Amino acid sequence: MNKTLTPRRGSDRPRRTPRGTVPVRPLQGRLSFLARPRTLVVCLVLALTGVLTLAVSVSVGDYEVPLAAVPGAILGYGEHLDVFFVQGTRLPRALTAVGVGAALGVAGAVFQSLSRNALGSPDIIGFTSGAASGAVAVILVFGAGRLGISLGAVVGGLATAAAVYLLAMKNGVQGYRLVLVGIGISAMLSSVRDYLMTRAELTDALGAQIWMIGSLNGRGWAEVVAVWAAFVLLGGVLFALGRRLRFMELGEDTARGLGVDTRGTQIIAFATASALTGAAIAVAGPIGFVALAAPQLARRLTRSGGTTLAGAAAMGATLLVVADLVAMRALAPTQLPVGVVTAVIGGTYLIWLLYTEWRGGRA
């Protein structure tokens, strides 16, 4: 009896680390964590792809800037016109795409973690719809400008998030309840939007319609600063919660059993991710499917068996930069709103996701 209460002592103790991880212990083990080389490589490859795409999207257009001249132009050297186009319009637009994409990727990953459901992204659970309704109401009722629209989007999004959270909450938030309540609220909001549209002047309605597709056209340095500040601030909070979010994916009772403050994590993460989504939508309109697809693609590429916020951010940023390049050049000189491109890419992905999950018997 009582053979072993604690594991064997000494250097012959067998040890284990999970597959695909490498323990890192600097400072004599005072600091220790598990590194995932595969995740690191995926993030680096995505970042490289993003940077290259960004360079291309800055160089092409009606006025071509040679690729070799791009780095100089970014720093303000070279041909006057090169610098004008790169610094004045193309670079801020591309950097906005990076910020918005990263923000949507992280926020989507957090929502999916909390709901333990790939469909638990802000697109599906009504957040995007709420933000769009807020913005459209501001456009049509008050005839507001861009700042007002952004404000309307944030307020609409947060109000919807709060409503969905409260309605879906009963002894904690359950994934399917969140998704179903969100879909219901989405449908209601979209009918309100449709009603407002029928009452509006044609030009106003057209403007609102275009805003709702989501676009990066004409975004400048103010938008870059806004979305990057939101990403650093709110994204920082979410990254700090990242470890706990991975435990939330085991189920709420299990996470609690392991000593995770589930309720606090849920509320802070939900509110912060909502605010981050709001910031992204305020800057670029409700760009669809990035928040849904980026975290899922990232977790499949990293094979990490759970959400990786860094992967989701890198994937979101790269996806949006690529989509925006396609939007600008696919039908040039006509510029598509980037939301059209992400919807095509994301829609295809969503169908594939549902198809494989149904076949796997998970949905």
Partner 1 sequence: MSTTGHDDTRLNGHGLTLAYDQRVISRDLGVSIPDSSFTVIVGPNACGKSTLLRALSRTLKPADGQVHLDGKAIDTYPAKEVARRLGLLPQSSVAPEGIGVADLISRGRYPHQGFLRQWSAEDEAVLADAMEATGVTDLADRSVDELSGGQRQRVWLAMVLAQQTPLLLLDEPTTYLDIAHQMDVLDLCADLHHNRGHTLVAVLHDLNHAARYATHLVVMKDGAIVAQGAPSEVVTAGLVEEVFGLPVRVVPDPETETPMIVPVDRRPQRA
Q: What is the binding site for partner 1 (CB under 8 A)?
A: 1-8, 13-21, 23, 25, 29-34, 116, 170-171, 243, 246-247, 249-254, 256-261, 299-300, 303-306, 362
- Of 242, 244, 262, 261, the closest CA to residue 252 belongs to 262
CA distances from 123 to 104, 249, 252, 287 (A): 10, 20, 24, 9
Looking at residue 140, the DSSP 8-state letter turns out to be I
| Smaller CB separation from partner 1, 3 or 80 | 3
Tell the smallest beta-carbon distance from residue 127 to partner 1 (Å): 23
Smallest distance from partner 1 to CB 84, Å: 47
Expressed in angstroms, the distance from the first to the final Cα of the chain is 46
Choice between 118 and 280, CB closer to partner 1: 118
- Minimum distance between the CB of residue 256 and partner 1, rounded to whole angstroms? 6
Residue 18 or 333 with smaller CB distance to partner 1: 18
Contact 96, 119 (CB under 8 A): no
Residues of 57-83 as b/e, b for ≥16 C-beta within 10 angstroms? bbbbbeeebeeebbebbbeeebeeebb
C-alpha angle 318-324-328 in degrees, rounded to nearest 5: 150
Nearer residue to partner 1 within complex by CB, 29 or 333: 29
Rounded distance between C-alpha atoms, residue 20 and residue 302, angstroms: 10
Neighbours of 263 (CB within 10 A): 13
> Closest separation between CB of residue 269 and partner 1, Å?
16
| Cβ 358 to partner 1 shortest distance, Å | 14
Q: How far is the CB of 318 from partner 1 (least distance, A)?
A: 22
Q: Rounded distance, CA 39 to CA 19, Å?
A: 13
Q: Which two tokens mark 249?
A: 């994916």
Q: How far is CA 69 from CA 63, 65, 95, 325, in A?
A: 13, 7, 18, 19
Residue nearer to partner 1 on the CB measure, 100 or 260? 260
In the bound state with partner 1, the residue whose beta carbon lies nearer, of 38 and 329, is 38
Q: How far is the CB of 2 from partner 1 (least distance, A)?
A: 5
Q: How far is the CB of 123 from partner 1 (least distance, A)?
A: 20
Closest to partner 1 by CB, 80 vs 362, is 362
Q: DSSP character for 24?
A: E
- Cα–Cα distance, 52 to 56 (Å, whole number): 6
Q: Which is nearer to partner 1, 2 or 198 (by Cβ)?
A: 2
